[in-house]
A and B are shown apart, each in its own frame.
Chain A
Amino acid sequence: MTSALEIRGITKQFGPTKAVDSVSFSLEPGEICGFIGPNGAGKTTTMRIISTLELPDSGDVFVDGVSVLAAAREVRSRLGFMPDSYGAYGATTVTEYLDFFARAHGLRGRVRSQTLASVMDFTSLHPLAGKHIDALSKGMKQRLCLAKTLLNDPKLLILDEPAAGLDPRARVELRELVSALGDTGKAVLLSSHILTELAEVCDSVAVIEAGRLQAKGRVDEMMRATRAQAEVTCRVLSDPAAGLRAIAEMPHVLGARLQGEAIVFAFAGSDADRASLLAELVRRGVQPVDFAARVTNLEDVFLSVTKGTLQ
């Protein structure tokens, strides 16, 4: 099966800065992939290259098997791109705006009106149909822009920071929209700064830093990999100093230290290793009262990956 998106070693340089540096990864149909990285990591640049707006210095991108270099027009008809900042035409209503882009995509007659209706349904824009674009709120504009990118029934959606500036309710709605899109078999690549946002909706994440891809994988796998270095906090009934000594001798334990009454250490073993560590402590009479490994979230994945501690 053809990948919805395949990036092959793209590089893009702006003057002295390598905005994107030999990045490769791919997305299968229906896959929702979070694209995370610190400011200036090269997310927007990568997305603009995928969307044919920028040419890579080297490498190529295939959208649904079509090269952005060799066939930019075909690529554009297969993808929808929602940029992080976009202009809107003044003096137009929501319907007119969508109608214009539907015409631009070559939709005619009944097909156009049906497409408009279904896209407006999907994004719940019907109540706003006659409203002027200038009068829309940020969240409404975002939905309008999403509706616009859906007009050509794209195989791949590129959303650059779609959640930025949305209130919590609008974010939940956006998340629902995105996962609904994934269910229809569209691949979605979305970048965001709000990492916890992505975990629920994404199947996979790609982490980029300083133009280089640091990691790409399924969310659960990445979490497990990060949990391998979970931070464990342990409080003991007996003398903490003795407990600290006992723990420091154990396998997979890194950098154990006292933090008030508690012993804090990084643990590099698996879940099973952690269970046997606890059993061993009990056997040695250390008497643990609290034993908590901090639950990993995407934030930790992100932090550990961008520090280069993974792989």
Chain B
Amino acid sequence: MTNSASIESLPGSDAHGERPHGIFERLGDWLNPVLVKEVRQAQRGRVFTVALVATVLITLLSCVIMALDLSDSNTQPGRSFFTVVYVFVCGAMMLVVPFQAFSSMGSEWDDHTYEMLVLSNLKPRQIVMGKLLAAVVQSALLLAVFLPFLATAFLLRGVDMLVLGVVLALTAYASVWLSTFSIMLSAVTRNRLLRVLLMVMLGGGLASLVSGAAALAQEFINRPDQMADTEFWIALPQILVVFTLLGVLAFVITCNLLAHEEENRSSNVRILGSVAIFALLALVALNVGLATVGLPREGVFGFSVVGIFALTAVSVFLCSEPERLGRRVGPTVPRRPWLAFLTLPWYPGGGRGAAYLLLHLAVLVAGGFAIALFAEPPSYARTPASSSLNSEGGAVLLLSAVYAVLYTLVPIGILAMFTRNTSGGRKFMRTIAFFSPFLYVLVPAIFGLVVGSYELRSTRHVGNPVRTMAGSVSAFEDHRDGVFFILLPLALFGIVLALPKILRAVRETATARQAVPVERSDR
């Protein structure tokens, strides 16, 4: 050992190992460290290379067999050729790549390397992004390898260039999206057994997606005129916007799952939720304005209702968060009282979650009604007299806001009185909240069995949203009393339960900025 001699050469002092730093190395410095590691491992591991070569060989073989089998009557051999190749492209990009991303994240737990990543001070965002970028690199590589085959398909004729490009671009998008989702799934639990279970489910899901995608691609290749439609080009970007928002949500949730307990693990989801809600309203408004689509009033209300139920699902988590601001979050509350108050719904905590839910319900309801003003009246009521907003759609929108409160604030508010806000207690609250829509239907039905009420027993009561919201115009009219005398008071009860929490959250926000964070021990 040469300790005494080399002690001067500890970090900071300059010693040996001066390598010339070229432009590539300097660029490489800014790459995500996890990406660099993953690519190096993949290079050395050879698993990926072997899989790649094997896939190409199999594809080649299948093509040869197909070529021998081709009858002269086939006027567009490119199409059959594409169909065969695409199954492999799709399988590699939408099954192998996401699966690899899943196991790459999972192996960090299994090999006990995750804590080393944390200690090396990588942010969760960097870790997840590194894994995702590694998936992107793999996808790009696969695409490059398969490109000659696809070009051959094009040269054999029968395949439209535009269709080919769109199908491939969408496949690449799906590959990245599914990888994001898979990484989230593997971050959900550190329990190996549970993860194996998730892996099996993921594998099944991905396999069925691949077969679906292959069928869809074949459909587009065989009928390229579908892509010539304006409606296709109006729908596609919107679908992409929605899926991209969902993908970002999965990314953000993964980061939160990896983050330290005292970190802010809620604001990013809340902000994203607000963005999603405004994006949804903007898309709806856009479709109302677009002459070719002309979204009617039912559609406007329909989309707003979908927004409300998505918000409800997220709010179950937000409303059941611990009330206290984390020790690293408190100091980030704005100093100005009015600003602190304005940003309150976006800070972590159950009470602030309730405020977030109520605020966004109001935005969705108001936005839905505002846009509906400009939409075509519903088809069944296109008479001069019924241009008012007093339509069934409006009632459904209002009702769904009421149900949103029933499914979140009521169960969580009641359970909060009996359960302690530990991680186990929170899991319990969330599970009950997610099952509450069924409880609202089943409990009165069981009661109906006991007292012998046919209406209750057959779930024809207001606890059943299908009864009050779907069906004919008269569905709502039939349950008017139940809505006014049961649902509304119950929702008000939920809000009343949440009020003290909201008030406490306001008070905590007001004082959080005054407390000086303990960062340095003064001695």
Contacts and interface: CB of A to CB of B under 8 A. Distances in A.
Contacts of B34: 104
Contacts of A106: 121
Interface string B12-23: 111111110100
A87 B112 contact: yes
A67 B519 contact: yes
Interface stretch (A175-183, A191-199, A268-276, A285-293): A175-183
Interface in B12-49: 12-19, 21, 25-26, 29-30, 33-34, 36-37, 40-41, 44-45
Contacts of A113: 17-19, 21
Contacts of B71: none
Contacts of B239: none
Contacts of B115: 53, 83, 86
B15 A91 contact: no
A70 B517 contact: yes
A122 interface: yes
B519 A118 contact: no
Nearest to B520: A65
Contacts of B36: 100, 103
A72 B16 contact: no
Interface stretch (B1-9, B387-395, B454-462): B1-9
B21 A177 contact: no
Contacts of A85: 112
A112 to B, nearest CB: 8
A71 B332 CA distance: 13
Nearest to A99: B36
Interface string A133-164: 00000000000000010111100000000000
A73 B121 contact: yes
Contact of B111 (A52, A87, A109): A87
B521 interface: yes
B351 to A, nearest CB: 23
A3 interface: yes
B228 interface: no
A177 to B, nearest CB: 6
A51 B11 CA distance: 21
Nearest to A73: B121
Interface in A75-108: 76-77, 81, 83, 85-93, 96, 100-101, 103-106, 108
Given A109-B29, A113-B18, A173-B1, A118 B13 contact: yes
A115 interface: yes
A3 B523 contact: yes
Given A100-B37, A108-B29, A180-B3, A117 B119 contact: no
B122 interface: yes
A121 B17 CA distance: 10
A71 B36 CA distance: 28
Contacts of A187: none
A212 B394 CA distance: 65
Contacts of A91: 40-41, 44-45
Contact of A92 (B15, B17, B37, B112): B37
Nearest to A178: B3
A151 B11 contact: yes
A92 B44 contact: yes
A70 B11 contact: no
A77 B121 contact: yes
A272 B175 CA distance: 81
A116 interface: yes
Contacts of B112: 85-87
Contacts of B68: none
B11 A110 contact: no
B10 A66 contact: no
Given A100-B37, A177-B1, A119 B121 contact: no
Contact of B520 (A66, A101, A108): A66
A60 interface: yes
A124 interface: yes
A220 to B, nearest CB: 24
A122 B10 contact: yes
Contacts of B122: 104
A219 to B, nearest CB: 21
A2 interface: yes
B3 A122 contact: yes
Interface string A1-32: 01100101000000000000000000000000
B261 interface: yes
B125 interface: no
A89 B518 CA distance: 37
A184 B10 contact: yes
Given A113-B19, A118-B10, A70 B518 contact: yes
B390 to A, nearest CB: 55
A87 B113 contact: yes
B120 A105 contact: yes
B118 A70 contact: no
A235 B426 CA distance: 71
A103 B520 contact: no
Choose among A8, A96, A150 the residue with the greatest number of B CB atoms under 10 Å from its CB.
A96
A114 B17 CA distance: 6
A116 B10 contact: no
Nearest to A93: B44
B360 to A, nearest CB: 31
A184 B2 contact: no
B332 to A, nearest CB: 12
A191 to B, nearest CB: 17
11 contacts: A66-B519, A67-B519, A69-B328, A76-B119, A81-B119, A92-B37, A93-B44, A119-B10, A122-B7, A148-B116, A176-B1
Given A72-B263, A153-B12, 17 more contacts: A53-B118, A55-B261, A62-B520, A65-B520, A65-B521, A69-B518, A70-B331, A76-B120, A90-B111, A104-B121, A108-B29, A108-B30, A113-B19, A118-B15, A119-B11, A180-B7, A183-B7
Q: Which 7 A-B pairs have the closest CB atoms?
A: A117-B17, A103-B33, A87-B112, A87-B111, A104-B120, A153-B11, A118-B9
